[in-house]
Amino acid sequence: MAEIHPTNAEGYAKAAKLLRAGELVILPTDTVYGLAARADNPKAIAEIYKVKRRPDAKALSVVVFAPEHATNLVHISPLAQSLMDKFWPGALTLVLPARGGVYGGVQTLAVRCPDIGWTQAFAKLGFTAPLVLPSANTSGLPAPVTAAQAQADIGDKVALILDGGPCKGGRESTILAVENDNIKLLRIGAIAPEKFAEFGLVSPQ
């Protein structure tokens, strides 16, 4: 079973070391607990699909440690920048056109910058590599909002869980696709659709 460790300097150092080595760790976020791996490590990503029993056709989003890091991965339109300025760091995932050569030449990439303390802690350790960070659960089961819930589901498949207490969001991120001057709601999550009305999104009825 995974070691459950507090979110402190020792825990952050252990997690960063494991991630650098291509291992999986479970991290708290501002939405739910996530199963983390380096986004540039195909073997680790394949292991995430295996652990979660996630369908191969279901793409993974990428977490960046600071909003400005997204410019290395995706093309950011003025509309996308406005959304990032208002909601990042936070519970919004944006699907944007990927830059050439990023992660196997995908055309679009879902990116998020979570509002959680370990991003700064990892950066101080010199670790800012983008992560894939889907919810830390078997596909089809509820997303965990505590370390204990994550442990009960997939804790036997990872080495470390950082316990940051109950997630304040308690719900997965909202996902918007942005193309030029248009946005499309792909998943209702922690941020209600009406929050995007000023950006042109019509809330679903």
Q: How far apart are CA 148 and CA 33, in angstroms?
A: 10
- On whether the CB atoms of residues 122 and 65 are closer than 8 A, the answer is yes
Residue 22 is predicted with a pLDDT of 97
pLDDT at 203 over 80: no
Cα gap 106→45, rounded to integer Å: 15
Distance in angstroms (rounded) separating the CA atoms of residues 113 and 137 = 20
Q: What are phi and psi of 74, to 5 degrees?
A: -140, 160
Superfamily of domain covering 3-199: DHBP synthase (3.90.870.10)
Domain ranges of the chain: 3-199
pLDDT in tens, 93-152: 999 999 988 988 889 999 999 999 999 999 999 999 999 999 999 999 999 999 999 999
DSSP secondary structure letter of residue 146: S
